[in-house]
Structure 1
Amino acid sequence: MPTALVTGATSGLGAEFARQLAGRGHDLVLVARTEERLHSTQQELARSVDVEVLPADLTTDDGCAAVATRIERGDIDLLVNNAGIGTYQPFGVATLEHEEQQLDLNVRAVLRLSHAAVQAMQSRGSGRILNVSSVAGFIPRGRNATYAASKAWVTAFSEAVSVMLRGTGVTITAVCPGFTHTEFHDRAAADMSDVPERMWLDAVDVVREGLDDTFAGKPISVPSRRYKTLSGVARTMPRPLLRAIMARRAL
């Protein structure tokens, strides 16, 4: 059976990636900070597939090194870089420590684990990497500038590496969802009451479409028709106009 390693695997999109990959017949390596929740998720999924747990804090050098070492064993068929954090505070209001943690987890950990995976997968000529990004990376979001910038990096990085990997048997995909019902915004203490219900996506649908696009080898996946349209408009709109629009919105 193929094996998938999922970071941030005990909640939100990560837990849904683990469930759907188990349903697709993948053995799992689950990574998260909280060992108790890892074992709970392991018990839930181990009825149908083999599930290994690896407690690690990916904001630290030791945590990244432990997971990279596991990837370097060469038996991971799919790496899901899902772990991430955000803040809904203006830059300069959120603490510098929090801003740096975002970059450590959203950028540095993705870089390090992708590097380990590319080396291991290219050596055997097969494998897939799925990096969870966001449509926030396509727009200048003043309320969470560092988060948006980190996701812009994830998308640009994934697309560039996909060009490099062409013809190697290894693919990389940035999955860029919009607002999705998970624990993410609660953890960020974000007031999302101003977001219309029509803009919210279901985690099950996001993960299913993201996995389908990953297995199809697409470099960028934007789940749902509405966000495909919105992200397309954002990417083609003149930047001065886009900045003016975003300056009028509390996003």
Structure 2
Amino acid sequence: MELELRSRLTDELSTGPEPPIGDLVVASMRQGRRLRVARRLRMGGIALLAVVVAAGLVGGVVTLRPAAPQVVTPATGTDPLVPATPAGLLVLLESLLPDGVTSGYAATPGGGLMVQVYLDTGHGPGMLRVAVGRDADGPAAVGHRAVMDGGGAVTGPVRRADGAQVTVVFLPDNCVQRTVVLFDRPDGIVVQVNIAACLAWDGTGNPPGPQVLTAVQAEAVAADPRWGTMLPRSLVDEGAARHPTLPDLA
């Protein structure tokens, strides 16, 4: 009986249609490809890590994460203040003047802080003298008492927004100090700009020369905060190189 039943089942299966296995084959093929791709990726990752490690060993460093950004510390204290020199004051003065040709450099003897320069802007040389000091009596002591009682007209003092006070003195009978601008800072430093209407004494007289700055321009020159009895070292060093010796004011 059992043999007869098995024989009938075999005959029926052999004569019936084949089961639909197409989807199973496709699914199996896809699964196989995924397994092969994953295996290749794993092998590739291992190989890449091996290359990185090998390169790191050659270079002596293995970096497996982003490097921290480099921090740059700015240099500080590179231009300290040092005692002012006439040559340093001249360098500062020349840097603040309008374009032109400069000459006629001189300074007060003994290292005093008054300097002289001629400036030619195309109309012949004119003389300027600039002095720096401290004012113990407040706002330039009303035009240094009208520039030592020269009998001139005084304008000011006028207070600026930065706290400085400006006094302008006009001396019609003094060609060396025809217009004097006194710039009195809140820290007690006074910058005096003398705009001459002549040149320095040549032994017999003062040759005429144009006034090469207006009072407004002179105020702008005096307002530079670097003026003082102390100067940045760079100005002093440059002055020593450019003006190793200076003749005395005449």
TM-score, L = length of structure 2: 0.20
- Whose strand fraction is larger, Structure 1's or Structure 2's? 2
- Whose helix fraction is larger, Structure 1's or Structure 2's? 1
**Greater relative contact order structure (CA < 8 Å, 6+ sep):** 2
